[in-house]
């Protein structure tokens, strides 16, 4: 009989693990509970695995390290984006442009200048054009996360179709927007602000969608050998992604 520490023996270790496959009575279950509670169970586990560690500690450690390294290197080399670098760059830039246009309408510090008669049409037109730019850039994406956020943005627009029409923003059959300059000019400015310039408004949600699409494109590129060592995009084209279904 060999002793390890704290009175733990090879017999006690064997008893512990042989009992795991049997149908224990209530008394035995209570005994196991108290063993866990007072620390005996932990000592037995430690002692059990120490027996294997004494035999091949260095070899096992080396093998595990080599195996993990090979797996990581394999995943790194085979994980490629589902969209080309050119497509991802276009999506990133378009989404960033929409975010900036939406945030201009949301800027509380510049409300007076943004929504005055001289600037309102140009600012709303910039928002609409940027929105359409994202649709063009991302419509043929093969990346699920980008598609989902693009669909979410389009659905949000359709939900607000009537209210947008009231301020001169109309939705076409291709899901793109257009601005009726005269109708926008005749709309109540406070109504326009409530739609495009307040927290939780349609404009706010579009900005959030643009941020997500921008992030999705960056993530797809950075995880999939699309960036070069200098931080610029390469010309890699993708055929799949290991974790795309998670987003």
pLDDT, tens digit, 9 for 90 and up, residues 150-177: 999 999 999 999 999 999 999 999 999 9
Does residue 143 belong to any structural domain of this protein?
Answer: yes
> What distance in Å separates the CA atoms of residue 189 and residue 164, rounded to the nearest whole number?
13
Of 236, 44, 220, residue with least CA distance to 141: 220
Residue reference for tokens 């064997």: 14
Q: Residue 20: its pLDDT value, please?
A: 43
Boundary (domain end) residue, out of 29, 62, 78: 78
If you average pLDDT over residues 102-112, what whole number do you get? 96
Residue reference for tokens 């080399």: 77
Cα 73 to chain center, whole Å? Answer: 23
**Cβ–Cβ under 8 Å, residues 83 and 142:** yes
Does residue 3 belong to any structural domain of this protein?
Answer: no
Q: Which CA distances in Å does 244 have to 84, 106, 147?
A: 15, 32, 11
Q: Which residue has the higher pLDDT, 140 or 69?
A: 140
The total number of structural domains in the chain stands at: 2
> What distance in Å separates the CA atoms of residue 183 and residue 199, rounded to the nearest whole number?
24
| Residue 48, C-beta contacts closer than 8 angstroms, at least 6 positions apart | 13, 16, 17
Does residue 39 belong to any structural domain of this protein?
Answer: yes
Residue reference for tokens 């037109």: 125
- Taking every pair of C-alpha atoms in the chain, what is the biggest distance, in angstroms? 95
pLDDT tops 50 at residue 112:
yes
Q: Residue 103: its pLDDT value, please?
A: 97
Q: Are strands 177-179 and 169-171 parallel, antiparallel or unpaired?
A: antiparallel
Q: Domain containing 133: what range?
A: 85-237
| Residue 150, C-beta contacts closer than 8 angstroms, at least 6 positions apart | 134, 135, 138, 139, 141, 209, 213
- DSSP summary character for residue 152: H
- 195 with 112, same domain: the answer is yes
Residue 62: pLDDT band (50, 70, 90) is low
- 91 with 74, same domain: the answer is no
**Cβ–Cβ under 8 Å, residues 167 and 203:** no
Does residue 105 belong to any structural domain of this protein?
Answer: yes
Residue 222: pLDDT band (50, 70, 90) is confident
E strand or H helix at 178? strand 177-179
Does residue 4 belong to any structural domain of this protein?
Answer: no
Residue % of the chain over a pLDDT of 70: 58
Structure tokens at 240: 């799949």
- DSSP summary character for residue 81: -
- 103 with 146, same domain: the answer is yes
Of 207, 101, 90, residue with least CA distance to 137: 90
- Span 170-219, pLDDT tens digits: 999 999 999 999 999 999 999 999 999 999 999 999 999 999 999 999 99
Average predicted confidence (pLDDT) for the chain: 76
> What distance in Å separates the CA atoms of residue 73 and residue 68, rounded to the nearest whole number?
9
Q: Residue 242: its pLDDT value, please?
A: 32
- 34 with 95, same domain: the answer is no
- 74 with 100, same domain: the answer is no
- 72 with 53, same domain: the answer is yes
**Cβ–Cβ under 8 Å, residues 205 and 156:** yes
- Span 28-52, pLDDT tens digits: 445 454 555 556 555 555 655 555 5
Does residue 216 belong to any structural domain of this protein?
Answer: yes
């Amino acid at each position: 009989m060999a002793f390890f520490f704290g009175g733990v023996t090879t017999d006690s270790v064997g008893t512990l693990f042989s009992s795991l496959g049997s149908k224990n009575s209530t008394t035995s279950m209570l005994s196991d509970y108290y063993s866990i509670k007072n620390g005996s169970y932990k000592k037995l586990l430690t002692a059990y695995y120490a027996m294997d560690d004494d035999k091949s500690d260095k070899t096992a450690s080396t093998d595990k390290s080599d195996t993990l390294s090979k797996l990581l290197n394999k995943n790194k080399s085979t994980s490629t984006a589902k969209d080309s670098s050119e497509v991802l760059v276009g999506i990133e830039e378009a989404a960033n442009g929409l975010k900036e246009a939406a945030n201009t309408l949301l800027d509380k510090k510049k409300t007076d200048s943004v929504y005055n008669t001289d600037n309102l049409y140009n600012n709303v037109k910039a928002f609409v054009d940027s929105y359409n730019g994202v649709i063009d850039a991302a419509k043929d994406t093969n990346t699920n996360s980008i598609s989902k956020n693009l669909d979410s943005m389009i659905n949000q627009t359709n939900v607000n179709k009537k209210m947008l029409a009231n301020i001169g923003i109309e939705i076409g059959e291709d899901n793109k927007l257009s601005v009726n300059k005269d109708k926008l000019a005749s709309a109540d400015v406070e109504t326009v602000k409530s739609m495009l310039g307040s927290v939780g408004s349609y404009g706010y949600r579009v900005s959030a969608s643009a941020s997500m699409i921008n992030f999705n494109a960056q993530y797809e590129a950075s995880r999939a050998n699309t960036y070069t060592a200098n931080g610029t995009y390469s010309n890699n084209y993708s055929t799949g992604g290991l974790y795309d279904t998670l987003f």
